[in-house]
Amino acid sequence: MVSGKKSFTKGGNMRAPQLDVLCKFVIKAWNDIDAETVIKSFKKCGISNSLDGMEDDYLWQDEEKAEAETTPSDTELDPYDDCLTNVPQDVIDLLMISDDEQEDFESF
């Protein structure tokens, strides 16, 4: 379908392929995909025939393992620790300026 003969409209747009060529392309593409890949993809998207809820956690299964390995625990990282947020006071003062503390705005 990609390398075959192409025909164009008067406006220069490529015409759609014939239906049999398109169907052969789709059939070949689906046959090239492993069935296990399709099954895992459906489960990863949360589409499953399991009505008992056994596969509900499959969606987050791999991410939890990866996150546990790369993310430090709560005891290792304290977001309120002053050494982690060592911001000079003048920067904090600039961020905390309210509208009434600024000069009058004249216009653009």
pLDDT per residue as tens digits for the range 29-41: 988 998 888 888 8
* H helix or E strand, kind and range, residue 41: helix 35-44
Domain assignment present for 88: yes
**What is the pTM for the complete model shown?**
0.37
The answer to whether 14 touches 2, Cβ cutoff 8 Å, is no
Domain assignment present for 24: no
Helix (DSSP H) and strand (DSSP E) numbers for the chain: 4, 0
Domain assignment present for 14: no
Domain assignment present for 75: yes
15 vs 6: CA distance, rounded Å: 7
19 vs 25: CA distance, rounded Å: 10
Q: Which two tokens stand for residue 8?
A: 């164009």
The answer to whether 8 touches 15, Cβ cutoff 8 Å, is yes
Domain assignment present for 8: no
Domain assignment present for 38: yes
CA angle 72, 73, 74 (to 5 degrees): 120
Domain assignment present for 71: yes
Number of domain units in the chain: 1
Domain assignment present for 19: no
Domain that holds residue 38: 33-101
**How sure is the predictor about 26, in pLDDT bands with cuts at 50, 70 and 90?**
very high
- pLDDT: which is higher, 31 or 101: 31
**How sure is the predictor about 28, in pLDDT bands with cuts at 50, 70 and 90?**
very high
30-89 confidence digits (pLDDT tens): 889 988 888 888 877 777 767 777 776 666 666 555 455 555 555 555 656 655 566 677
For residue 85, what are the CA distances in angstroms to 81, 91, 96? Answer: 7, 12, 16
Question: Is 27 a residue whose pLDDT tops 90?
Answer: yes
